[in-house]
Structure 1
Amino acid sequence: MDTNDILNALGLDAVNAGACARGWIDDTKGSELASLGPATGQVIAKVRQADAAAYERVAATAYETFLDWR
């Protein structure tokens, strides 16, 4: 089993969203953060970091969700 098989089994891609607001936010323009394997130092996968617009969506969704919960 190689890294791609493991990522697929976990439902992960080579590049994954790093922000969530009632679902993953895939359209962020943030930079990519690489996750390195400790044994080899090779890139396992990457996370696309949230940009300012994504943070605004997360905050707005959290606020709306709080109001629904309350």
Structure 2
Amino acid sequence: MTAHTYSAIPAIELKSPSVPAHPLRPVFVTVIALKVAVSVFLLATVSLAPPVAAEGTYMSVASID
């Protein structure tokens, strides 16, 4: 049985990527950015809503004396 040494292993060569970027990548980035923008808008809208937007009839159970 022979022992393997690191000098016997061929060197790893890093080649520059020759594959072009996917043609729909800008569309994907745009969709993700729009999703983030819409979610920020919706969260801001919810956080600015008044604390009680229901009618008084819904509050009758909570105001039992």
- Work out whether the TM-score is over 0.5: no
Bigger CA radius of gyration: 2
Relative to its length, the structure with more helix (as a share) is 2
Relative to its length, the structure with more strand (as a share) is 1
Q: Structure 1 length as normaliser, TM-score?
A: 0.28
Q: Structure 2 length as normaliser, TM-score?
A: 0.30
